[in-house]
Amino acid sequence: MSSAELRLLYRGRLAESGLTEVVGKAARFQVLTTVQCAALWPGAPRQTALKIPYLDPRGEVTKFYRVRLLGELNGFDHQLTKPPRYLQPPASGSQVYFPQVAGLRWLEVLGNVEAPLIITEGELKALAATVAGFPTLGLGGVDSWRSKAARTSLLPELVAIPWQGRRVYICYDSDASTKPQVAVAASGLAQELSSRGARVFDAGLPPVAEGKLGLDDFLVAFGSKALEEHLRDAPEFSAVLALHSFNERFVFVRGLAQVYEERSRHFYDSHKFVSAVEANAVYQVVRLTPQGTKFEKRSVAKDWITWPNRRTVQSVTYVPGSDDLMHHNATGSLELNLWRGWGVQPKRGSVAPWSSLFRYLTGGESDETRTWFERWLAYPLQHPGTKLYTAVAMWGAQTGTGKTLLGETMLRLYGSNGQRIGAKQLSSQYNSWAQRKQFILGDEITGNDSRAHADELKGLLTGDWLRINEKYQPEYDLPNCVNFYFTSNHPDAFFLDDNDRRFFVLEAPDVRLEQAEYTEYHQWLNSAEGPAALFDYLLRVDLGNFDPRAPAERTRSHDNMVDANRSDVGRFVALILHDPEQAQRLYRVPIDVELFTARELLLFYDPRTEKRVTEKAVSMELQKQGAVKLLGGAQVRTPAGRVRVYAVRDLTRWRRAKNREVKIELENRQLPSAKF
């Protein structure tokens, strides 16, 4: 970048804050090239930048400085969700920024307790306000008025200022209502200065529809007169301290008209929140009247609900792996993230009990099947929030084999993000159990041959969104991050057909675990080390080419469950398609015939018409199990009339067959038991 381009970039950045190069010169700003910036300290970015020196109240340059990066970021920095713009040398601590403006003598301002001060976050904001006639102290961050490293409750520069009786305005950015740490920092600073005798006012800028508003943005947009009015209307912190304390505890969810309590994770109806939940929370407000000073008791909850600076989000979401309480969605709308971390922290250790249980439960399966299952368990832990488009169902008639124990173990890792449910909850219209969940152990699921139930379950397994329906609460949508591990004692636990690829089915051993084995496993599981070691192990599992959206591995147990769900006529059709020799032995269906009508097969199945099965039922089974309906379902003219014909062999050939080819085949067939 040429020096002219760099100078133009510098002017543009100053203009954004309503500043000029003349102001920048008085403030001792330095424009740095990429080489100069990289030379500031080991590891400094190779980036064009603005060096902001810190001066003391006498106007002398200190050793402390910060850097404001200019232009587009290079390397990996530009890929960050919120790349850093301000940097400083490592372990350099914090200082107060006293903006240097022509004609301003900071020693006189600080020495006069009648002179009000503004405190804000950011050097350019402090400089813009000071230029506009409002002496303002700048902090490198909202919490930079103290030093945790130096264990000081207030920076030395602030301690040296006389505060008794001075009016102080804390004017942080407008995102204080969405960032609890900003409100907490402002409240802490207010209490510290109040303890030193200052009258501290809450001059935080009001929320805006998009982005955030800083003090310099406010001056550029509205001018110094508007800032003067804003400061005049600012309430004393002591008057709104109770409201700030509510901001640390609660969030208002506009789309639900509800209040969320961060600690308990409960939602409250906004009206009940005021009238019942926090009805006893009151605070005193001082009122100046012609008759004198009056103290008025007010409801904290009621005033907080109508307070412009309350913490507010538009809706709720669930973003596992994100530490942000407030989350901006793809449209920029602010949402409350309901994810609150894992159940344990990973730590290297022994997983021998887990490995033994896993091998025992999957002992009858192939290495490929066991690998797929282990990757299924590990993938959502390595990729938090991933929706697997498959579910695992482990069944076994014998109890005490450990199939539920495996699911309980996984629940330890997920903590509050996991839930154990039964068949009743799974089929209920209310699904509050699914909110804020990544792993569901569906335990002791009984057989259900309802296709409607299967379709509902399909939405849970493959849908991208969940409609949360909690009794007596408004419904809302959350991203579907739920993955299911089911256990059952029934071979027909789920209604599956030949085309189902969503379920990975395993059959547990038919031998109970010994009591000593259970005791040893539970000792490991209930220890602090066991779940942590398993979490660490699963985070290191090689995922290979595992695809979370791909169909499940097909197992023998899956095919057995499909067969268990079939009706008697369904098993008959399955034999014709997959075991023609058995179909010939049991029902005399010829092996060498490839085309049939549903009526013909019905006569093989029920030659005496005793089973009350209809031609339509046979036709439905043929289609469901993959037989080819010839000519797209069009009828074929035969000596017995017009009929629909199905191919049960050589399906690839008959999908492309023409009308004449079908007629020839029908004429040449030999059907010993068919009544055409």
- Closest C-alpha among 135, 129, 124, 120 to residue 29: 124
Of 218, 234, 250, the last residue of a domain is 234
Question: Is residue 313 included in any domain, yes or no?
Answer: no
pLDDT value for 82: 54
The H or E element containing residue 569 is helix 568-578
- Closest C-alpha among 615, 617, 643 to residue 630: 643
pLDDT value for 608: 87
> Distances from the Cα of 38 to the Cαs of 85, 87, 222, 619, in angstroms?
15, 12, 38, 76
Q: Provide DSSP, 349-416.
A: ---HHHHHHHHHHTTTS-HHHHHHHHHHHHHHHHSTT---S-EEEEE-SSSSSSHHHHHHHHHHHHGG
Q: Which domain holds residue 615?
A: 566-668
Sign for the pseudo-dihedral over CA of 399, 401, 407, 411:
positive
Q: Give the chain's length.
A: 676
- Closest C-alpha among 408, 420, 441 to residue 522: 408
Structural domains of the chain, count? 3
Q: What CATH number has the domain bearing residue 44?
A: 3.40.1360.10
Q: If you ran DSSP here, which 8-state letter would residue 429 be given?
A: S
pLDDT value for 668: 87
Same structural domain, 487 and 610: no
Same structural domain, 543 and 584: no
**Distance between CA atoms of 403 and 398, rounded to whole angstroms?**
10
- Closest C-alpha among 309, 287, 312 to residue 297: 287
| Residues of the chain above pLDDT 90, percent | 64
Q: Are 568 and 449 in contact (CB under 8 A)?
A: no
Task: Retrieve residue 297's tokens.
Answer: 């008791």
Same structural domain, 395 and 517: yes
Same structural domain, 614 and 476: no
Report pLDDT digits (tens) over 185-223: 898 999 999 999 999 999 999 877 667 899 999 999 999
Q: What CATH number has the domain bearing residue 421?
A: 3.40.50.300
**Distance between CA atoms of 193 and 155, rounded to whole angstroms?**
12
Question: Is residue 282 included in any domain, yes or no?
Answer: no
Same structural domain, 542 and 629: no
Same structural domain, 423 and 524: yes
Alpha helices in 464-555 (DSSP H): 515-525, 529-539
Same structural domain, 521 and 539: yes
Of 561, 589, 612, the last residue of a domain is 561
Q: Provide DSSP, 198-215.
A: -EEEE-PPPP-SSS---H
Task: Retrieve residue 183's tokens.
Answer: 């409100």
Question: Is residue 361 included in any domain, yes or no?
Answer: yes
Same structural domain, 580 and 541: no
Of 207, 234, 261, the last residue of a domain is 234
Name the more confident of 630 and 82.
Answer: 630
Question: Is residue 309 included in any domain, yes or no?
Answer: no
**Distance between CA atoms of 106 and 136, rounded to whole angstroms?**
10
Residue type, 182: V
Same structural domain, 539 and 576: no
Question: Is residue 239 included in any domain, yes or no?
Answer: no
Same structural domain, 540 and 400: yes
Buried b (16+ CB within 10 A) or exposed e, 270-295: beebbeebbeebebebeeeeeeeeee
Same structural domain, 230 and 371: no
Question: Is residue 332 included in any domain, yes or no?
Answer: no
Q: Are 282 and 297 in contact (CB under 8 A)?
A: yes
Question: Is residue 622 included in any domain, yes or no?
Answer: yes
Report pLDDT digits (tens) over 42-52: 999 999 999 99
Question: Is residue 463 included in any domain, yes or no?
Answer: yes
Same structural domain, 134 and 151: yes
Report pLDDT digits (tens) over 415-447: 999 999 998 888 888 999 999 999 999 998 775
Main-chain phi, psi angles of 503, to 5 degrees? -105, 130
Name the more confident of 460 and 362.
Answer: 362
Average pLDDT for 233-246: 88
pLDDT value for 77: 46
pLDDT value for 131: 97
pLDDT value for 428: 87
